[in-house]
Structure 1
Amino acid sequence: MEAALYGPAGFFVHQRPADHFRTSVHASPLFAGAIATLLGRLDEALEQPERLDLVDVGAGRGELLVGILAALPEGIRRRVRATGVERAPRPGDLPPTIEWSASPPPRTVGLLMATEWLDNVPLEIVEVDFQSRIWYLTSLLTPTDEPLHPGDAAWLDRWWPLDGAPPGARAEIGRARDEAWAAAAATVERGLALAVDYGHFAADRPPFGTLTGYRDGRQVEPLADGNRDLTAHVALDSLGDPVMTQREALRLLGVDGARPPLALASTDPAGYVRALARASAAAELTDPSGLGGHYWVMRWV
Structure 2
Amino acid sequence: MEASEKVELEFNSSTSNQPNRFKILLWKLLKSKTGLLGLTIVVIILISGIFAPFIAPYDPNKVSASDMLAPPMWLEGGSADHILGTDNLGRDIFSRIIYGSRISILVGVFSVLVAGLIGVTFGLLAGYYGGIIDHIIMRFVDSFLAIPTILFCLVFLAVLNPGVLTLIIVIGVTKWVLYARLVRSETLSIKERDYVKAARTMGVKNGTIIRKHILPNIFSSVIVISTLTVATTIITESSLSFLGLGIQPPTISWGIMLSEGRAHLATSWWLSTFPGIAITITVLGIIFLGEWLRDVLDPRS
Query: Which category describes the TM-score, using the shorter chain as reference length?
Result: under 0.3
Q: Per chain length, whose mean CA-contact separation is higher, i.e. which structure has more relative contact order (CA < 8 Å, sep 6+)?
A: 2
In the superposition, the TM-score normalised over structure 2's length comes to 0.26
Larger helix percent:
2
In the superposition, the TM-score normalised over structure 1's length comes to 0.26
